[in-house]
Amino acid sequence: MKLNLICSCFAAMCAAFVVSSCSSDDEGTTTVNVRNVYTTGCKTEGQPSQAGSATTRSPFDTEYVEYKSKSDGYVYINHANVSYNCCSEKIDVTLTVTGNRISVVEKETDTSCNCICPFDVSYEVGPLKAGKYILVINSHNTLHEINFTYPSDGRVEL
């Protein structure tokens, strides 16, 4: 009888220990994702640099990435003046995250025309925690690596 009581108490303590030590593997982690993808479409080329000037300077000469931190944990990314096929009405954006490395792939959906033009592709990535990150943008198999701290804002010419 005493042995049964001791065994029952021991079994109950073991069960309580097992239940209290179990936890979910993703406890405290969040999934970083991409949202609100927007593409300008083909931008108009060649604006006169000055009224009456014979030379033209395009406002789309410089490709750059602009990033702005938002209060909800997301960072707004604008990849400006990136060249894509004129017929692309949409640019697909996919995302993978490894540690603090955020890899983004931008891919045009239509390459049927024999021309290119500048596009702006913007999207939001998050939610992020405060810290240092490496943003890698893959566009046309060209990698652009940008170091940034969240929260912060900045612009990097490519």
Residues 55, 59, 103, 99: what is their CA dihedral angle, to the nearest 10 degrees? 120
Tokens for 98? 């490894």
Average pLDDT over residues 55-68: 79
Average pLDDT over residues 57-66: 81
Contacts of 30 (CB under 8 A, 6+ apart): 127
Name the domain count of the chain. 1
Percent of the chain with pLDDT over 90: 61
pLDDT of residue 26: 46
Pairing of strands 116-126, 75-85: antiparallel
Domain assignment present for residue 8? The answer is no
Pairing of strands 131-139, 142-150: antiparallel
- The more confidently predicted of residues 43 and 27 is 43
Q: Give the least confident one: 30-34, 60-64, 150-154.
A: 60-64
- The more confidently predicted of residues 56 and 101 is 101
Domain assignment present for residue 71? The answer is yes
Tokens for 110? 């239509």
Q: Report how far residue 104's alpha carbon sits from residue 86's, in angstroms, rounded to the nearest whole number.
A: 22
Average pLDDT over residues 51-60: 54
Domain assignment present for residue 100? The answer is yes
First to last CA, the chain: 80
pLDDT tens for 70-81 read 999 999 999 999
Domain assignment present for residue 7? The answer is no
Q: Report how far residue 154's alpha carbon sits from residue 75's, in angstroms, rounded to the nearest whole number.
A: 11
pLDDT tens for 100-153 read 999 999 999 998 999 999 999 999 999 999 999 999 999 988 999 999 999 999
pLDDT of residue 89: 86
Q: Report how far residue 62's alpha carbon sits from residue 156's, in angstroms, rounded to the nearest whole number.
A: 10
Domain assignment present for residue 36? The answer is yes
Domain assignment present for residue 117? The answer is yes
Cβ-contact 55, 3 below 8 angstroms? no
pLDDT of residue 16: 45
Whether residue 50 is predicted with pLDDT greater than 50 in this model: the reply is no
Mean pLDDT rounded to a whole number for the chain: 82
Domain assignment present for residue 38? The answer is yes
Cβ-contact 153, 60 below 8 angstroms? no
pLDDT of residue 28: 54
Q: Report how far residue 126's alpha carbon sits from residue 92's, in angstroms, rounded to the nearest whole number.
A: 17
Cβ-contact 65, 123 below 8 angstroms? no
Domain range for 88 is: 31-43+56-157
